[in-house]
Each structure stands twice: as structure tokens, then as C-alpha cells.
Structure 1
Amino acid sequence: MTATSVFVKSRFAAPALTVLSALAAGFVVTQAKAGDPDLGRDLFEAWSCSGCHTLADAGSEASIGPSLDGNPNLTLGYVISRITNGGGAMPPFDGQLTEDEIAVLAEYIIQVAE
């Protein structure tokens, strides 16, 4: 394989992955409107929330960010705002997740936080 063929393959691989990611995201949004709580868990895992937060339902025991289990600050509005805008060490996910995905993720967290 030549350097040129590697360049050509990598040049076309990224757009293909972007298209596949967009299709997958569209599927999640379509399904998210149905209110499936499993999608909230899938989003929690896919976006590495478990890398920073403890949430028993997701099998997460991280301690970089605050524990979501038993957290008295968790209201739907608060969680949506944090996911959207970030805060402290947490990055904002606005523009990376759709409003529907953020809502599904926030609803999942509120529903399962012990």
C-alpha cells in the first residue's frame, strides 16, 4: 500500500463515518421521542458520562464529577442545563447532542438516580 492510497482511503473514510454517525444519531432521536429509557442509558454510556459520574443503574462508580445517585440537586431543568451548558469540569454537550437526546438523557438520570 502506498502513501497515496492510505491518504485516499483515510480521506474518504472520515466522511463515511460522519454520515454513519449522523444516521445513527437520527435513529436515536427518532427512538428518543418514544420515551424509551434504555436509550437514556445508551446515551449515558456512549457519551462517557460513566467516566466521571456514579450512577448505579448504569453500573458507573466514577468520582471525577458529582455522584448522580441520591443527589438532591437533580431536577429535570438542572440536569438539562448542565448537559447543555456544562459547568465546572464538565464540558457542554450543546451542538454534540440534539435537544431530544439531551432531554432523554436528563429524564433517564432523573428516573434512575437513587
Structure 2
Amino acid sequence: MVYTTKIDLLGIVRGDSFELCVEIGEAFDLAGCTARAQVRSYAGDFRVVLELDIDIDGQHITLSKEAEAMRIAPGSYEYDVVVTDPEGREHTLFGGRFRITNRVTR
């Protein structure tokens, strides 16, 4: 069964704190799952640009990162969120583009 949802574009301002909370439908039970999320220049890139912090609370997954870690080069990146269920199987729940822009107001 495929659980992937595409959150097409996350727009983040360079140097700002980041937080996104996503509710996962009842079709996929998050109880006992662990998760990880990475940002890369492109899906096949071996270099991880950013590892996002993840908190699972019930059927909600919150991705976050403090401002100090968000000082990466402006540009368009790709990300996804992979959960590992209690049986050790991996499932990609969602992903998409992760765009970093410079702050306009100075």
C-alpha cells in the first residue's frame, strides 16, 4: 500500500526557525513508529544538506529546525519523510520541494 502524499513546496526563509505539523490519516497508524527526514540538493545526491528534527504525537508528525541550522544556501532542494513501523518496514509518507529564500526585509 502506498501512503505517499506530496506537499509540493515548503518555502522557508534562510536563517528563520522552521516548523511544520502534518496530520496523518487513520489509514496509517503511527503508534510505535520512528521517523526521519532529510533535505538534499536532489533525490539521488549522497550529500545531506539538512536533517530535520521530528516529533510524532498521535497521528501528527512535526518537522522542525532551529534558526541557527537554517543558514543553508538559498535554492531549491528536495525532502521526504520516512517512517519505520514497529515491524521494521520503511514507508515514505510525504515529500516534495524544499525552497530556501533570502529574507527581503533587512
The higher radius of gyration belongs to 1
Asked if these proteins are the same fold (TM beyond 0.5), I'd say no
Tell me which of the two structures has the higher relative contact order, counting C-alpha pairs closer than 8 angstroms and 6 or more residues apart: 2
With the length of structure 1 as denominator, give the TM-score of the two structures. Answer: 0.23
The structure that is strand-richer by fraction is 2
With the length of structure 2 as denominator, give the TM-score of the two structures. Answer: 0.24
The structure that is helix-richer by fraction is 1
